[in-house]
Structure 1
Amino acid sequence: MRISELKQKEVINVKDCKRLGFVGDVDFDMKTGCMLAIIVPGPGCICGFLGREKEYIIPFCDICQVGDDIILVDVKPKEVSEAVKC
């Protein structure tokens, strides 16, 4: 699977069935070539102006399944609400 194919998939949390968004980037370990996490940009601030509010960094171990259209992740809702601030 290519990174461009991952970017077309929507990420959904199985804990609360919340849509987190689409994959924006992928974090790799340069030494091993293994994928460490997917990064999902958060919702925009003030109707999309002034950039984005936060981003979700979802470790590879929290990915449950990658389907044709969606990626299911198992992340506690508290961890999602305390996502990394930009």
Structure 2
Amino acid sequence: MTFRELSKKEVVQVDEGQCLGKIDDLVIDDKSARVEKLLMLGRPKLFGLLGRGESLVIDWDEIQKIGANAILVNTPLPEENAQEVKKPGLLGRLLGQG
């Protein structure tokens, strides 16, 4: 299987059934030439002008199955910033919600 074929598959977290996206890069051991990790870059913030969110690294051992259309993984989901308090948007302020 080529990287191009692998990168077209959706990555699905098995426990929650959540689609995590697609593979962006691989980490390969230079001595054994084996794939060690799959890398999924974080989502761009403001079209990439403010950088990216946190990247997800999936160890090869966490892959449960590589199918025709998806890669099933047993990796923990990335934690959302629960402590971060979101300010209401313009509509919320106009409606008096903030």
2:79 to 73, 78, 81: 81
Aligned to 1:25: 25
How many residue pairs get aligned? The number is 79
* Pair 1:68 & 2:71 matched: no
Q: CA deviation at 1:52?
A: 2.1
Give the structure with the higher percent strand.
1
> What TM-score, normalized to structure 2?
0.73
Q: Cα RMSD between the aligned structures? A: 1.5
Provide the C-alpha distance between the structure 2 equivalents of 1:58 and 1:28, rounded to a whole number of angstroms.
13
Higher relative contact order (CA 8 A, sep 6+): 1
Provide the C-alpha distance between the structure 1 equivalents of 2:25 and 2:62, rounded to a whole number of angstroms.
16
Largest Rg, 1 or 2: 2
Identity %: 29
